Amino acid sequence: MKKLMLVGGTILALFFVSGCSQIVEEVTDSSDMADIEVATKGDTGKGALNLKTKKIKKTDNELVISVDDIDESKMSFIYVANKKVLQEKLKNGTDYTLDITNIKEAHRTDYKPKVQLIQFENNHEDGDMTLFKQVRYSVK
């Protein structure tokens, strides 16, 4: 009897959980869904951020990146360890060298610092995000 109640309770719980995710999709608009995608997957939008320098030494002060399949007409914002290091319209397939000389957090060895690419709908940091990509690198 206890096993039957446990199986029934599990089935009922799965039914409610699967129904909740469908309700969330029905009541959110596309901008909310983009925010949810960023929160759950860590990135959103079309394109790729490629980190050419996957490992650096504590004495290194440059990272090399490139982008693929992004909107070249939009302003791109590049952050390293949450500090803005580049703000310009990027070209697909072009290498960009990022100066991380004065960013203390970019040289930490206790975790992998991140490089983030963000584009906004209105080309200003206060606008709606249309692209968010991030990659991590290690410091030896």
Average pLDDT, the chain: 85
**What band does 83 get if pLDDT is binned at 50, 70 and 90?**
very high
34 & 47 share domain: no
Task: Say which residues have a Cβ less than 8 Å from residue 90's Cβ, sequence separation at least 6.
Answer: 67, 70, 72, 76, 96
Q: Decide: pTM greater than 0.75.
A: no
Distance, in Å, from the CA atom of 1 to the CA atom of 28, rounded to the nearest integer, reads 41
- Domain ranges, residue 15: 2-38
pLDDT at 10 over 90: no
- Give DSSP secondary structure letters for 13-80: HHHHHHHHHHHHHHH--HHHHHHHHHHHHS-BSS-EEEES--EE-TT--EEEEEEES--TTS-EEEEE
The owner of tokens 């925010």 is 35
Q: Give the count of domains, the chain.
A: 2
79 & 119 share domain: yes
27 & 86 share domain: no
Of the listed ranges 26-30, 59-63, 89-93, 98-102, the least confidently predicted one is 26-30
16 & 68 share domain: no
CA distances to 12, 20, 30 from 26, rounded to whole Å, are 22, 10, 10
